[in-house]
Each structure stands twice: as C-alpha cells, then as structure tokens.
Amino acid sequence: MRFLGFLTRRIVGIAAVMVGVSIITFAISHVIPADPVAAALGDHATDQQIEAFRAEYHLDRPLPEQYLTYVVGLAHGDLGRSIRTRRPVADDLFDSFPATIELSLAALLVAIVVGIPAGVWSAIFRGRLPDHLVRLLSLIGGSIPVFWLGLIVIGLFYYQLGWLPGGARIDTFVEPPPSRTGLYVIDSLLAGDLNALRSSLLHLVLPALTLGYFSTAVIARMTRSSMLEVLGQDYMRTARAKGLTERLVILRHGLRNALIPTVTILGLTFGSLLSGAVLTETIFSWPGLGRYATAAAIALDFPAVLGVTLLAAIVYPVANLVVDVAYFWLDPRTQRG
C-alpha cells in the first residue's frame, strides 16, 4: 500500500509537471518577438496567404483561446499540425522518436558499461596512474562540447581512419529491417538480418560514444566517490577479515553498496541524453527527435517545439520514476519514509 501511495503521488506529480510545461512552453513560444508565419511563408507570401495561414493555425485568436484549443486537442491526443512539415506533430514524433530512443539507450549502455568499471578502477587505485587517467578523462568528458566532440570523432574515425561510418542509421545500400519497434538493432535481430544488424550497430558506435561520453564521465565520478566512501566502511574490513578474495570484497560488498547513488542519477542521465541528442543527431545526420527539434526551432515551428517539449517532459520524469521505483525496492530504508 505504501508503494501504491508513492506511485500515485509521483504520477500526479508528473501530470502537474506536464500542465506546467505546456503552459510555460506555450507562453514562451507565443510571446517571443518572432513570427512563425514569416518563417513558414517566407519573403514572397501575399497578405491573403498570410491571413489564411494565421487562421489555419489559429494564430489570429487571443492567446488564452489558442492555449485552450491546444489543450482540448491534447486531450483528444492531437498535438496539432507542424508548421514546417505540415503533418500532424504526433506523426512526426512517432517517426523520429524510435531513432532517438535507440541512440539514447546505446549511449546509456556506454555510460554504464564504461562509467561504472572506470569509477571502481579509479577508486581502487586512488591517487595512482589509473585514478589520474580516469579523472582526467572524466574531466574532459564533463567539459567537452558535444558538437565539437562529434566533429572530431567523425573526422578521426570516419574521415581519417575509415573505421566507422560517419552518419545516418544504416549504410546507404543496406535495406533497413522491417519496422516492428523502430529500433534498427532490435528489428534486425527480430528479422534475423545479420547484415542490417552489423551495419546498424556500426552506425551506432560514434554517435553513442559522443552522446554517452558526458554521462560516462558523470557516472565514473559518481561511482568513484561512492566507492571510496564504501571502501572505508567497517563491513569491508569485516569482509576481508572473513578471508574473502579481494575481487569478491570489491564486487559483492563494495560495488553493490556504492551503486545505489549511481542508480539514482541514471534517470537524470537519461534525461540529459535526450537533450544532448539535439546536437548529436544534427552532427551525425541521425533522423531522430533531436534533429526534428532543431529544425522545428529554426523554423519557429511552435506546434512541433511544443510536441517535442511535452514528450521530453514525459520521458524525463518517467525515467526518474522508473529509477525511483527500482530504488524503492533496492534500498529498504526508502520504504520507511
């Protein structure tokens, strides 16, 4: 029952966040001194075309009425029509979201698989070369701009060395797998198409490393500091005194306890991956939500910007909720609160 109460409070919270985000984004996008009509219709449009466009997108109505129309549409699952692509925003999001999910999950995987061992390694060799190395790489990862890193890795691994593809989700002349999940790697596996699987995996490497580097750095630093804290605990000494091997002491008693704060930030990390995808996708010609958002923002395509923002506003707290639920079960102390 305590868990159900917790879950209900969080879901209500998410709903409140959604309403808040929709109002703020709607207000910002409609009060900034930029005219989406001029952006959409350009230099040549006649006054009649401009008026017709304003009417079509309800831009000739008072702001509260526009918001109400938007919210009523939302309640019916209608996110409006994109000014740039002239398609329903929901369709656009449906098309571009799987690519972003695939990239973000791959980046998250990089962050976990590289970040956690790096943090542990760094803590164990505190003050020595491996520690300095990990801390230096983490410092770089935390401060390097994503777009710059993206251009550098494309320049090095695609252009100079020719080891990996420099953009897109799959090779030009490889047929994408039949869409079931929209995630090429999963779909290739489901279709048993090894060639598509290989191609889509290779195409994932550079963007996932670029996008995941920052999160890797955060996770490595977080794991390092919590690991250092755990290493000094009494129960670690006890474990060693019991005669356990150092490997077991570190992995079973140390890492397990040190991971709890790391798990907590995974939700936040996933959210930051989504925002990082905006630049990564543009650089890597990745047909996802980030690139869609960039194009929408440049075109002052407010319905699309709102759609992306709302989607992000759902994903962010939902990812955190998933983590919190996991945390709820992982750490019995949280159940008492």
Partner 1 sequence: MKSLRYASIVFAIALLVAGACGAPATPGASASVSPSAGGAASTLVIDRDTSDLISLDPAVLYEFSAVFATHNVYETLVRFEGTDLSTIKAGLATSWDIKDTGTRNDITFKLKTGQKFASGNPVTADDVVYSVQRAIKLNKSPAFLYTDIAGLKADDVKATDPTTVVMSLPKTASASAFLTILTFTIGGVVDSKEVKSKETGGDSGSGYLLDHSAGSGPFSVDHWTKNSEVLLKANPNYGGTKPSLSGVLFKHVPEPTNQQFALEKGDIDIANDLGPEQITALQGKAGVTTVSADSLLLVYVGMNAQFKPLDNVKVREALRTAVDYDGIVKNLLKGNGKKVQGIIPKGLAGSNEATPFQADVAKAKSLLQEAGQTAITLEFLVPTGQAPGGASWSDLAAKLKSDWAAIGVTVNIKQTTTADLLATYRAQKGQLVMINWGPDYPDPDANVGPFTDYKQKSIGWRNAWDDPTIAQKGRDAALITDPTKRAAAYKDITDYVLHNGPYVVLYQPSELFGLRSNVKGFNWSSIGWAELAAVTK
Binding site for partner 1 (CB under 8 A): 33-36, 38-39, 42-44, 46-47, 49, 84-86, 92, 95-96, 110, 114, 117-118, 121, 124-125, 130, 151, 153-155, 157-159, 161-169, 171-175, 193, 195-196, 198-199, 202, 205-206, 209, 245-247, 250, 282-283, 285, 287, 291-292, 295, 300
8 A C-beta contact, residue 295 and residue 81: no
Shortest spacing between CB 109 and partner 1, in angstroms: 11
Q: Taking the C-alpha atoms of 108, 220, 264 and 203 in order, what is their torsion angle to the nearest 10 degrees?
A: 0
Instruction: Find where tokens 């755990």 sit.
Output: 230
Considering the complex, state which of residue 219 and residue 323 has its C-beta at the smaller distance from partner 1: 219
Smallest distance from the beta carbon of 71 to partner 1, in angstroms?
Answer: 26
In whole angstroms, what is the distance from residue 168 CA to residue 203 CA? 7
With respect to partner 1, which residue has the nearer C-beta, 70 or 213? 213
Nearer to partner 1 among residue 101 and residue 283 (C-beta): 283
The values of phi and psi at residue 176, to 5°, are -60, 150
Nearest residue to 149 (alpha-carbon basis) of 216, 209, 207, 210? 210
Closest approach of partner 1 to the CB of residue 67, in Å: 22
Q: Which residues fall within 8 angstroms of residue 137, CB to CB, at 6 or more apart?
A: 118, 217, 220
What the block records as the tokens of 275 is: 């925002």
Q: CB count, 10 Å around CB of 71?
A: 13
If the CB atoms of residues 77 and 162 are measured against partner 1, the closer one turns out to be 162
Angle 89-124/256-283 helices, nearest 10 degrees?
Answer: 130
For residue 41, give the H/E element and its range. helix 36-41
Min CB(23)–partner 1 separation in Å = 24
Closest distance to partner 1 from the beta carbon of 51 (Å): 13
* In the complex, minimum distance from the CB of residue 215 to partner 1, in angstroms, rounded to a whole number: 14
State the minimum distance, in angstroms, from the CB of residue 281 to partner 1.
10
Question: DSSP labels for 127-162?
Answer: TSHHHHHHHHHHHHHHHS-HHHHHHHHIIIIIIIS-
Would you say 264 and 331 are in contact if contact means Cβ atoms under 8 Å apart? no
Instruction: Pick the closest to residue 140 from 69, 216, 191 (CA basis).
Output: 216
User: Shortest Cβ distance from residue 21 to partner 1 (Å)?
Assistant: 24
Q: Which is nearer to partner 1, 296 or 319 (CB)?
A: 296
Supply φ then ψ for residue 83, to 5 degrees. Answer: -70, -35
With respect to partner 1, which residue has the nearer C-beta, 175 or 229?
175
* Element at 315 (helix H, strand E): helix 302-330
Q: Which is nearer to partner 1, 189 or 325 (CB)?
A: 189
Please, which residue, 130 or 261, has the CB nearer to partner 1?
130
